[in-house]
Amino acid sequence: MAKESFDKEIQFLRMLVLTSGAYSRQQFAERLGISVHTFDKTLRHLKEVVAATYQQIPESQGKEFAETLRYSYFDSADPMLLFLFRAKSVKETESQRISLLLAAMNEKALTTMELLDVCSNSLPAESAQPDEKTIRNDLKYLEEVGVIMKEPGPRPFRYRIHNDFVQELTADELIDLYDFVDVMANTQVPSVQGYLLRDGLKKHMNRSSPSLASIDPFLYKYHYYSRILDEAHLFTLLKAIRSRKNVQFLYFSPKNSQSYASKNTNPLFERDMEGKQENTLPLKVVYDHQYGRWYLLSYNTRHGIKKYRMEGITHLEEGESADPDIFEEHLKELEQKITYSWLIDTGRPVTVQARFFNPGDLQPNFIKERVCLQGQWGQIMEETEESFIFEIVVNGTTEIKPWLRSFGSSCEVLTPHSLRNEMLTEWKEIIDYYESV
């Protein structure tokens, strides 16, 4: 499947989650910058993806389509939208061929030519038959990701499944490993690869002993769907940063009325397209735990340091390599600009002082513990039995304000006065919401 289609499905699913079906077909298509016909076609394709993804799950573990495709946060404890990564990680033809190769190598070690014969004899006659070069490329890919290994010995080389690790684990060790991966995938970022590893372990446990995977000891409520969807671009960007390469993409800022544009020759959609073509040198990727968002920080020859929300990036492609010295120069410039950033703000540094009130006689003092844990480089300047004053230098107050606000009545902003007045205005608005009717 083309990269463009993957982008379209990512934005399609993101909107479906955020709107919970409140948009009509026409509104949905306009917001995405596609036609109603393309909307219907994409929806049909997503249904096919879901059906194909879950058809191999045992009946006892199977999911009805309607249950699987629940987009409301309240309806499911599973990390929804992960099925897109399971189904779109390889093309359909690649998926069929690789499945055959793995099934053959699971029985015994085979050479490239023997695997070519397996594919030729097993693939349907109407499908494209692979050649030796294709099989070698598949084996190279599978070896790189650690799925298979090359057996020692003379040419021609023989390949077999590399599953020694899980095969040697006892039942208790398998359960411990599964629980560890489950916890890490749900609490750390990035998480998609962890979920895929967890599901692979669960299938292995079901094959060896169905009773092993019958109970999940941990249940999580997933908050941020965009976190999973944006990981589709994450590793491409990290690779570009490591190799010091420029990237090109079509960007839709959060203020745009559209979030996607199809690559076609229709003048209507070309005229209405609100995305902006960007050519930039990626320097750093930052994750915002407060809102579950990924950000790309990069250098642009016209505008200098630029920041992008990754949810607005589509049609991402690698570009030309940058000079290593120039890359390091821009990276150093970025690090200086974000030295006092609460997240990614590069504005003027300002000193923020706030008084935090202790929670009475409660022990431990969870207010102080949270401030010390999350307060980054800030310091407690003054302390009494009732409260303490916290001081920190940050670039601007926009990013730290939600954190201060999250403490509710346990936090009073002292300086700067502009931030204090902003907080007063916001709290007065909240009071008005709760006035008796």
pLDDT in tens, 298-343: 999 888 999 999 989 988 999 999 999 999 999 999 999 999 999 9
Going by C-alpha positions, the residue among 249, 247, 237, 244 that lies closest to residue 321 is 244
DSSP structure string for 364-402: S-HHHHHHHHH-TT-EEEEE-SSEEEEEEEEE-STTTHH
Give one word for 81, left, alpha or beta, with left for phi > 0 and alpha for psi -120 to 50: left
pLDDT at 267: 54
Question: What is the CATH number that goes with domain 349-433?
Answer: 3.30.70
Least confident of 114-128, 172-186, 410-424: 114-128
Tokens of 233: 């671009």
Three-state DSSP state, 29:
helix
For residues 268 and 26, what is the distance between their CA atoms, to the nearest angstrom? Answer: 15
DSSP structure string for 341-362: -SSS--S-EEEEEEEEE--TT-
Q: Rounded mean pLDDT of 385-412?
A: 95
Q: Which ranges of 146-248 would DSSP assign to H, the alpha helix?
A: 164-168, 171-187, 192-208, 225-242
Report the DSSP pairing between strands 349-357 and 411-415: antiparallel
- DSSP code at position 110: B
Q: Rounded mean pLDDT of 258-267?
A: 63
Report the DSSP pairing between strands 379-383 and 387-395: antiparallel
Decide: 344 and 286 in contact? Cβ < 8 Å.
yes
Question: Radius of gyration over alpha carbons of the chain, in Å?
Answer: 26
Decide: 79 and 195 in contact? Cβ < 8 Å.
yes
pLDDT at 264: 56
Residues 6+ apart with CB under 8 A from 205: 174, 175, 178, 212, 213
Least confident of 10-19, 120-129, 231-240, 268-277: 268-277
* Tens digits of residue pLDDT in 170-208: 888 888 998 999 889 888 888 888 888 888 888 888 877
H/E element, 37: helix 36-54
More confident residue, 219 or 37: 37
Tokens of 23: 């948009």
Write down the pTM of the prediction. 0.78
3-state SS string for 271-283: HHCCCEEEEEEEE
Tokens of 67: 């249950």
Class of domain 92-162: mainly alpha
Q: Rounded mean pLDDT of 365-386?
A: 94
Q: Rounded mean pLDDT of 257-279?
A: 65
Decide: 257 and 263 in contact? Cβ < 8 Å.
no
Instruction: Output the average pLDDT for the chain.
Output: 83
